[in-house]
């Protein structure tokens, strides 16, 4: 069986779930294995995975896959890698999953290695594509700060695969409705070794950032927080773009960490990426070098960012951005 792990919020599957469906469908088709989805939720807590939420999410997923399995238990709220691992390992074994598909979210990346080890299987992490080749599960993923891509072959079953967010296309629903099944997992008492004291949501920008079709990113070359707002935010608004920042900008406090792009921030691959006053350090580039078209504006003609750019505007952001804004307004 190919088993998809569904992340959800407020009674809705997250975008990653629909991306995993399209990956799962192609794996199921290639192997003849059945496809199913797994929904984990806390019982009656009313939080992100409340009981109502689980029903709604399962119903929704049943229009995408033939079978949906639901595990509900109070220890699953708030979600933690340790408890989720127990549920995922139990479900994978009970249902006979040969491939377990997880989103490469923070939570998915946290559970994946544990589940793979617990089941004696293998882990293909944060992959951009995955397929069956001669019966083996083979995936492609970036490595070495996204300087190369590597093709990795799983050598042990089951294969736990975490799939990069936004990499696969979103699936569309099937005609009919699949079955929804309850699955009991024998949990031990709540694990008291770790207790969540509080959880805080970040400003919404970040979500917009990894879903954005266009990203405008500002670096230290902007010179000040005010100039960042004046130029980056204005251009982003004009282009309907998400706002990104380099670490240098986050470290000096001009922008919040939620906007950081790179090795220790978010990875983005929009259709158009505009870098303003960004030098192009490797740790930054690893988070944006798979963008479709890259535009950079920099006073230094030798700035490394130009080596990976399609359009290299040598100039001062203070002059180029207002002119660009006007030119864009001109074409409506």
Partner 1 sequence: MTIVTVVKQVPEAEARVRVVDGALDLAGVTFVLDGMDEYGVEQALRLREAGTASEVVVLGYGPRETERALRTALAMGADRAVLVVGDAFDDPLTVALALVEAVREAAAEMVFVGGKHADWDSAALGPALAEALGWPHVDWTTALRVEDGRFEAEHEIDDGSETLRGSLPVVITTQQGLAEPRYPTLPNIMKANRKPLEERSVEPRPKRSSARSYAALERQRRRVVIEGDARSAADELVRRLRDEAKVL
Ligand X SMILES: Cc1cc2nc3c(=O)[nH]c(=O)nc-3n(C[C@H](O)[C@H](O)[C@H](O)COP(=O)(O)OP(=O)(O)OC[C@H]3O[C@@H](n4cnc5c(N)ncnc54)[C@H](O)[C@@H]3O)c2cc1C
> Which distant-in-sequence residues (6+ apart) come within 8 Å of 67 by Cβ?
34, 35, 36, 37, 178, 179, 181
CB count in 10 Å sphere of residue 274: 28
Binding flag, residue 211, partner 1 (CB under 8 A): no
Site string for partner 1, 8-47 (x = CB under 8 A): ----------------------------------------
Binding flag, residue 255, ligand X (CB under 6 A): no
Work out which of 161, 262, 268, 324 binds ligand X, going by CB under 6 A.
262
Work out which of 55, 205, 316, 325 binds ligand X, going by CB under 6 A.
316
**Closest approach of Cβ 178 to partner 1, in Å?**
26
> Which distant-in-sequence residues (6+ apart) come within 8 Å of 13 by Cβ?
6, 7, 57, 60, 61
The owner of tokens 């906007």 is 259
Nearer to partner 1, 138 or 233 (CB): 138
Site string for partner 1, 178-207 (x = CB under 8 A): -------------xxxxxxxxxxxx---xx
> Residue 78, preceding bond cis, omega within 30 degrees?
yes
Task: Report what 248 binds from ligand X, partner 1, none; CB cut-off 5-8 Å by kind.
Answer: ligand X
Contact 248, 221 (CB under 8 A): no
Nearer to ligand X, 219 or 270 (CB): 219
**Closest approach of Cβ 111 to ligand X, in Å?**
23
Q: Kindly report the length of the chain.
A: 332
Dist. CA 242–CA 223, nearest whole Å: 20
Contact 20, 168 (CB under 8 A): yes
Site string for partner 1, 260-279 (x = CB under 8 A): ---xx------xx-------
- Residues 97/98/104/106 CA torsion (nearest 10 deg): 50
Nearer to partner 1, 14 or 73 (CB): 14
Using DSSP bridges, classify how beta strands 12-13 and 8-9 pair: parallel, antiparallel or unpaired.
antiparallel
Binding flag, residue 274, ligand X (CB under 6 A): no
Task: Report what 83 binds from ligand X, partner 1, none; CB cut-off 5-8 Å by kind.
Answer: none
The owner of tokens 């770790």 is 194
**Closest approach of Cβ 163 to partner 1, in Å?**
14
Task: Report what 300 binds from partner 1, ligand X, none; CB cut-off 5-8 Å by kind.
Answer: ligand X
Order across the sheet with 122-127: list the strands: 122-127, 159-163, 99-103, 2-6, 35-41, 67-72, 179-182
Binding flag, residue 121, partner 1 (CB under 8 A): yes
Binding flag, residue 118, partner 1 (CB under 8 A): yes
Nearer to partner 1, 142 or 168 (CB): 142
Residues 230-249 that bind ligand X (CB under 6 A): 246-249
Instruction: Find the part of the chain contacting ligand X (CB under 6 A) among 16-24, 52-60, 100-108, 260-268.
Output: 260-268
Q: At what angle do helices 81-95 and 106-118 cross, to 10 degrees?
A: 50
Query: Shortest CA distance to 130 belongs to which of 52, 232, 234, 19?
Result: 19
How many residues lie near ligand X (CB under 6 A)? Answer: 28
User: CA angle, corner 206, sides to 205 and 211, nearest 5?
Assistant: 100
Binding flag, residue 172, partner 1 (CB under 8 A): no
Q: Which residues bind ligand X (CB under 6 A)?
A: 219-221, 246-249, 260-265, 277-279, 281, 283-284, 287, 297-300, 303, 316-318
């Amino acid at each position: 069986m190919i088993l998809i792990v569904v992340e959800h919020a407020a009674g809705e599957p997250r975008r990653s779930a629909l991306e995993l469906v399209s990956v799962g469908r192609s794996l199921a088709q290639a192997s003849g294995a059945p496809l199913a989805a797994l929904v984990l939720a806390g019982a009656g807590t009313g939080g992100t995975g409340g009981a109502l939420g689980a029903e709604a999410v399962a119903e929704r997923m049943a229009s995408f896959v033939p079978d949906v399995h639901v595990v509900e238990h109070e220890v699953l709220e708030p979600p933690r890698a340790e408890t989720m691992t127990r549920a995922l390992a139990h479900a994978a074994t009970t249902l006979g999953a040969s491939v377990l598909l997880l989103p490469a979210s923070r939570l998915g990346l946290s559970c994946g290695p544990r589940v793979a080890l617990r089941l004696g299987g293998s882990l293909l992490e944060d992959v951009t594509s995955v397929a069956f080749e001669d019966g083996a599960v083979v995936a492609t993923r970036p490595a070495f700060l996204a300087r190369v891509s590597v093709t990795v072959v799983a050598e042990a079953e089951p294969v736990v695969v975490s799939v990069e967010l936004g990499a696969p296309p979103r699936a569309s629903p099937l005609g009919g409705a699949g079955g929804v099944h309850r699955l009991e997992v024998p949990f031990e008492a709540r694990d008291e070794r770790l207790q969540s004291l509080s959880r805080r949501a970040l400003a919404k920008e970040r979500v917009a950032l990894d879903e954005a079709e266009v990203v405008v990113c500002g670096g230290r070359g902007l010179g000040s927080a005010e100039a960042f707002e004046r130029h980056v935010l204005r251009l982003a608004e004009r282009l309907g773009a998400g706002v990104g920042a380099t670490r240098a900008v986050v470290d000096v406090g001009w922008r919040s960490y939620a906007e950081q792009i790179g090795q220790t921030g978010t990875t983005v691959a929009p259709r158009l990426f505009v870098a303003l006053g960004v030098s192009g350090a490797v740790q930054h580039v690893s988070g944006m070098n798979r963008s479709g078209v890259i535009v950079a504006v920099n006073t230094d003609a030798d700035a490394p960012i130009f080596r990976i750019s399609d359009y290299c505007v040598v100039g001062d952001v203070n002059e180029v951005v207002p002119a660009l804004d006007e030119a864009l307004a001109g074409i409506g």
